[in-house]
A = this chain, B = another copy of it.
Amino acid sequence: MKYAQHMASPTDLFNWLLALSDLLSKDMAIQFERQGLTPARTHLLWELHQRGPVTQQTIAEALDVSPRNVTSLVDALVQSGHVRRESHPGDRRAFLITLTDQGAAATARMAREHAELAAELFGALPADDRAATERVLRRASERLTELFDTHYGRKDDHDHDDQ
């Protein structure tokens, strides 16, 4: 298939997507760093913001990392004052990881900045363009998830390795 100069080929579009992804992750990493946070610790905080107090196991599943990794992240966030390890009322093996006031303030600020950045990047767009883009990105996400599952098996099935 041919694409004229003014037309966006699938590869052009893909390249813009990757370029923007890269810019975003760098930009966000800098924002986090300004608050004394790293991307991984911020991600953990964000899950707590959305889920409320949960165990480290739950966090490990949410972030898709090993439980051991969560121990380190929580250690660091306890150290920096963003979270607390509270004893789990029904299970003496587990902790309930809870946002401190400082942690809650940090996630509240993130939520605000997230919305502000979204408005900066996409607020001035014609509603049509925004709708089309949202449709395209959602379709791509679905398609990519399908491809992923086809090639590597469903996420929960990850171990079988059956061809």
A residues sitting closer than 8 Å to B (CB atoms) are 7-21, 23-25, 27, 30, 114-115, 117-123, 125, 127-141, 143-145, 147-148, 152
Which residue of chain B has the shortest Cβ distance to A1 in the bound complex? B123
Q: How far is the CB of A26 from chain B (nearest CB, A)?
A: 8
The answer to whether B10 touches A121, judged by C-beta atoms less than 8 angstroms apart, is yes
The answer to whether A21 touches B23, judged by C-beta atoms less than 8 angstroms apart, is no
The answer to whether B133 touches A12, judged by C-beta atoms less than 8 angstroms apart, is no
Q: Return chain B residues, CB-CB under 8 Å to A120.
A: 143, 147
Q: Among the listed B19, B115, B123, B141, which residue makes an inter-chain contact with A20, where contact means beta carbons less than 8 Å apart?
A: B141
The answer to whether A132 touches B134, judged by C-beta atoms less than 8 angstroms apart, is no
Contact (A127, B27) CB under 8 Å given A14-B114, A134-B13: no
Q: How far is the CB of A152 from chain B (nearest CB, A)?
A: 7
Which residue of chain B has the shortest Cβ distance to A16 in the bound complex? B137
The answer to whether B20 touches A17, judged by C-beta atoms less than 8 angstroms apart, is yes
The answer to whether A8 touches B131, judged by C-beta atoms less than 8 angstroms apart, is yes
Q: Return chain B residues, CB-CB under 8 Å to A15.
A: 118
The answer to whether B12 touches A134, judged by C-beta atoms less than 8 angstroms apart, is yes
Q: How far is the CB of A127 from chain B (nearest CB, A)?
A: 7
Q: How far is the CB of A110 from chain B (nearest CB, A)?
A: 13
The answer to whether B23 touches A121, judged by C-beta atoms less than 8 angstroms apart, is no
Q: Among the listed B7, B14, B147, which residue makes an inter-chain contact with A118, where contact means beta carbons less than 8 Å apart?
A: B14
The answer to whether B132 touches A13, judged by C-beta atoms less than 8 angstroms apart, is no
Q: How far is the CB of A63 from chain B (nearest CB, A)?
A: 11
Q: Which has the most chain B C-beta neighbours within 10 Å: A24, A132, A138?
A: A132
Q: How far is the CB of A155 from chain B (nearest CB, A)?
A: 11
